[in-house]
Structure 1
Amino acid sequence: MAPIPFAIIGTNWITRDFIHHAHSTQKWQLRAIYSRSAETAETFQSSLSLPSSTADITIHTSLSALAADPSVSTIYIASPNILHFSHARQMLWAGKNVVIEKPATTTTKQLEELFKIAREKKVVLVEAFRHLHEVNFKKLKEGLSKIGHLHGATLNFCQFSSRYDAVLRGERPNVFSLEFGGGALMDLGVYCVAAAVELFGEPVSSTYFLKIIPETESDGGGMLVLRYKEGMTVSCTFSKMWDSGMGCEVWGEKGGVRVERITDIENVGFWDPRRKVREEIGGEKREGNLVEEAEVFAKLIEEEDWEGVERWERVSLGVVRITEKVRRECGLTFPGDEE
């Protein structure tokens, strides 16, 4: 089967990684780059290490031209968060498959509209929660069967951002700007929320205890508490203002499962508290942390696996329902919230 001809919107590090890892699967082929600036697109293209077969790449400075480009079937979107909805909507209406970086949208209404268009056009729309496709995240999920009735969990992702220092210098980077849909919840917190939804489903209640950055009025970090039936509680701690070495754990009646972090998982440990024994239940970590999602998305597109598409749609909708609720309760307002 021929590689999937794709284009990209967004010329940043995650886009470069996706291109590289997607090409390594031999299931994808970059055919076009979109940027408002041709110079930016050309500079980005020159930074890529691509096989000679992809030398003929089209540069688009118009979204309409990209949408009308017959040489691409699929668009990978990694523009600023607040632009995801409008970019995806235009590409879906043009009949393109869309892979959209997390967070797919900032509101539930927006995401529901995108999935509705995708169904009408019979194209694939999927959100790029890369960690959910990692072999050791799947091993973590499988490990839940070993620990019996669930008591609770802690999911953590605290990673200091150099752009926080830029904020302290008086700058306003997009990742900390409410105008661009930024903040710790939308950048790192969604990893924890997506993991919780995939592992345990949607909670019955959620509360966000956040740390506001006065200079931007966005959230720099905090703890999100998810409450489930029968009293199970999942605490999600995430931040772009500080680092933390806390791992992630799930506790059950028969033991616990632990990983060092919620993404790029190296090992998965099962702890039996009665026998005082730790067992490694993880698999071999793959080279390239976007390879597994690229393989999954290619399969969805090539096989027109609508059941699989709907399965990931449920996860994405579960995540946005939680994040939208808690950020609105905390007064984190984004453009487009009232549309």
Structure 2
Amino acid sequence: MIRIAIIGTNKITRRFLEAVQKTELLKLTGVYSRTIEKAVEFGTEFGAEKFYDRLEPLASDPDIDAVYIASPNYCHCAQAVMLMQAGKHVLVEKPAASNFAEFTRMAQAARQNHVILLEAMRCVIDPAFDLLAAHLDDIGEVRQVILQYCQYSSRYDNYKNGIIENAFRPELSNGSLMDIGVYCTHLMAKLFGMPKKIQADAVFLPNQIDGAGTILAHYDDFQVQLVYSKICDSFVPSQIMGEKGTLTFRELPNIHDIDLILRNGEQKRFPLQKDSNNMLYEAIRFAEMINGQDSAACEECLRVSGMEMQIMDEARRQIGLVFPADTFRHTQNTSAL
């Protein structure tokens, strides 16, 4: 049983802990929050035994094996590095970091301290992704791809009323690309690797945060369009279009309804049985990596998350979206873009 602590007491953390309760591989032991009172209030509900309002005691606690980080994006790097240097395994919410330079520091800390670092990218750590990837050959040569995730944010109405919550604050390394577009970006990188170049554009809100955007990625023989938004909904599926047919699917990042439509008119829906809370699968994958059952996948996950961060760095450069965390950006190789 892996003893896990959590950083963050928000909605996504609650959903993660509901997933943890469905597996015997992980046990919630500790909760970190800005106040002990909040940590106790949140953690007691899920059976936590230890509570922290400072990171150092959590990092040094021998009764904690791993930590799930769901703090604001700009905190991820510093928190993860400290924990990994103390020998803790880390599952960090998406996006893993503010930029590629921060992620590089995190990956180095994982390797140097022989611990697992995994980005909680549930759209690819999911039986639906395996099913989708298994049927790519059915559509022949891929030519056009449209990956989209457009969801009117529950916080956008507050934004329009002058209440700026974390999701719309650039100083926290947030915004539409980081919160929503990251799923499309990671899925593209996982399926197709690093594009040759990208072209990015965005719709900006008055406080200079991106509310929606698009990325056009160029590969040798095909294009990928990423469409994402926090200020409007979309009701059409994502599509992977090939010379023999098209794969369609809905509901990134919890993929459902995978359909194959061939040029001859034949159609097939692939049956998909999975848990409604697909954070269960990232919890299981994280535990398997820690237990050494899936060590080869660790480096692959770091590689794909690194590509994701490089693509988003270049997209932000093109649209002019700069975070305070970028002040500390190291020299990086973006020649592929």
**TM-score, structure 1 length as denominator?**
0.94
- Per the alignment, residue 38 of structure 1 pairs with 36
Give the match's secondary structure for 2:64.
coil
* Residue identity in the other structure for 1:168: K
Distance 1:248 1:297 in 2: 27
Gaps of 5+ in 2: 329-337
Alignment of 1:154 with 2:146, yes or no, is yes
Matching of residues 89-238 of structure 1 within 5 Å? 89-214=81-206, 216-230=207-221, 232-238=222-228
- Per the alignment, residue 252 of structure 1 pairs with 242
* Residue identity in the other structure for 1:229: D
Q: Which of 246, 253, 258 is matched with 1:268 structurally?
A: 258
Give the match's secondary structure for 1:26.
coil
Q: Which of 270, 277, 291 is matched with 1:281 structurally?
A: 270
Give the match's secondary structure for 2:58.
helix
Q: Deviations over 1:41-64 (max 9, x none)?
A: 122124x3x4xxx45x11111100
Q: Which moved more, 1:184-193 or 1:325-334?
A: 325-334
Alignment of 1:28 with 2:17, yes or no, is no
Distance 2:253 2:293 in 1: 28
Percent of residue pairs identical: 34
Q: Which of 288, 291, 303 is matched with 1:314 structurally?
A: 303
Give the match's secondary structure for 2:21.
helix
Q: Deviations over 1:115-138 (max 9, x none)?
A: 111111100001000111121122
Distance 2:327 2:318 in 1: 14
* Residue identity in the other structure for 2:63: S
CA RMSD of aligned residues (A): 1.2
Q: Deviations over 1:180-203 (max 9, x none)?
A: 011100000000001111111111
Q: Deviations over 1:233-265 (max 9, x none)?
A: 111111110111021010111111011232222
Distance 1:129 1:162 in 2: 21
**TM-score, structure 2 length as denominator?**
0.95
Give the match's secondary structure for 1:130.
coil
Deviation of the 1:25 alpha carbon: 1.2
- Per the alignment, residue 15 of structure 2 pairs with 17
- Per the alignment, residue 73 of structure 2 pairs with 81
Distance 1:247 1:287 in 2: 19
Task: Tell me if the contact between 1:22 and 1:294 (Cα under 8 Å) persists in the aligned partners.
Answer: yes
Deviation of the 1:281 alpha carbon: 2.2
Q: Deviations over 1:101-121 (max 9, x none)?
A: 000001111111111111111
* Residue identity in the other structure for 1:135: P
Q: Which moved more, 1:288-297 or 1:184-193?
A: 288-297
Pairs aligned (count): 328
Give the match's secondary structure for 2:4.
strand
Q: Deviations over 1:275-310 (max 9, x none)?
A: x11112242132322111111111111116432100
Give the match's secondary structure for 1:133.
coil
Structure 1 outlier segments of 4+, above 6 Å: none
Task: Tell me if the contact between 2:173 and 2:325 (Cα under 8 Å) persists in the aligned partners.
Answer: no
Give the match's secondary structure for 2:132.
helix
* Residue identity in the other structure for 2:199: T
Distance 1:36 1:309 in 2: 31
Deviation of the 1:100 alpha carbon: 0.3
Alignment of 1:327 with 2:297, yes or no, is no
Give the match's secondary structure for 1:285.
coil
Task: Tell me if the contact between 1:265 and 1:285 (Cα under 8 Å) persists in the aligned partners.
Answer: no
